[in-house]
């Protein structure tokens, strides 16, 4: 028997494959990614994660039982204090202060992505909320695991830290828990509800691709660097 997340994964197969082949992602693995693009990405991703952590906070409020509520609260905590610590450490290496990091001006893609997710979180059910946030954690874990297979990627002096974090068992446990809860929440849902959840999952998967792409091109608003 296939579960709901098998259906989701199948529906985004071509998009995620494009992500795996994107030069930003392959460059993280083989070390060819320009440092400027990585710095740009780190700063945009830092402010992205501030909003992403809020998705878990809203999920904690919407949860139907205490255990689920506290798991989402823990996910918020680990985003703010473990995942974002990686960014703070990179920023320190680059001589970017915490204040500067937090004051990063949002790119259009970053703003579109987080605004969309937060809209689903505020207007939708818990199941819809999880379907919109799941590509973020799940796809990074998949990318991390694939890059960890590339020779030298785990030990690269700049990008190794990134690959180690997203391929780690700790990060994988978070992704697995989210995949499980997605399947539980989908149980008993009508085809119409599942189709809406699939739409959110596909849309945020496309936005993941766009986030990599804008980072590679260090894209801001069109009148600033075009
Ligand atoms: C844009 C994006 N997507 C996903 C992740 C992994 N939490 C992230 N840090 N940034």
CA distance 210 to 223: 19
Q: Mean pLDDT throughout 47-68?
A: 98
Nearest-CA residue for atom 7 of ligand 1: 137
136 is catalytic: yes
Give the confidence band of 226 by pLDDT, cuts at 50, 70, 90: very low
- How high is the mean pLDDT of the chain? 97
Residue 35 tokens, joined: 């440092």
| ipTM over the 0.85 cut-off | yes
Q: Is residue 174 within 8 Å of 165, Cβ to Cβ?
A: no
208 is catalytic: yes
Residue owning tokens 């030990």: 155
Nearest-CA residue for atom 5 of ligand 1: 136
Length of the chain: 226
The crossing angle, in degrees rounded to 10, of helices 23-30 and 160-167 is 100
Backbone angles phi, psi at 52, to 5 degrees: -60, -40
Burial of 118 (0-12, 13-18, 19+ CB in 10 A): middle
What's the whole-model pTM score?
A: 0.96
In order of start, what are the domains of the chain with their CATH numbers?
A: 8-137+175-217 (1.20.910.10)
């Amino acid at each position: 028997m296939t579960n709901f997340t098998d259906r989701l994964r199948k529906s985004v197969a071509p998009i995620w494959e494009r992500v795996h082949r994107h030069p930003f992602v392959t460059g993280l693995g083989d070390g060819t990614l320009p440092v400027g693009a990585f710095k740009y990405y780190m700063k945009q991703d830092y402010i992205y994660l501030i909003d992403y952590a809020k998705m878990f906070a809203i999920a904690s409020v919407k949860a139907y039982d205490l255990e689920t509520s506290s798991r989402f609260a823990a996910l918020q905590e680990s985003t703010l204090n473990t995942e974002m610590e990686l960014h703070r450490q990179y920023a320190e290496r680059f001589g970017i202060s915490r204040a500067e990091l937090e004051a990063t001006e949002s790119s259009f893609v970053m703003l579109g992505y987080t605004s969309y997710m937060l809209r689903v979180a505020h207007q939708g059910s818990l199941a819809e909320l999880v379907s919109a946030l799941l590509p973020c954690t799940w796809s990074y874990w998949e990318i991390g695991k694939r890059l960890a297979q590339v020779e030298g990627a785990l030990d690269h002096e700049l990008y190794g830290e990134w690959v180690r974090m997203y391929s780690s068992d700790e990060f994988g446990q978070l992704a697995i828990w989210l995949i499980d809860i997605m399947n539980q929440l989908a149980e008993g849902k009508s085809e119409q509800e599942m189709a809406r959840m699939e739409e959110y999952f596909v849309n945020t998967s496309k936005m993941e691709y766009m986030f990599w792409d804008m980072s590679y091109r260090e894209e801001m608003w069109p009148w600033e660097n075009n």
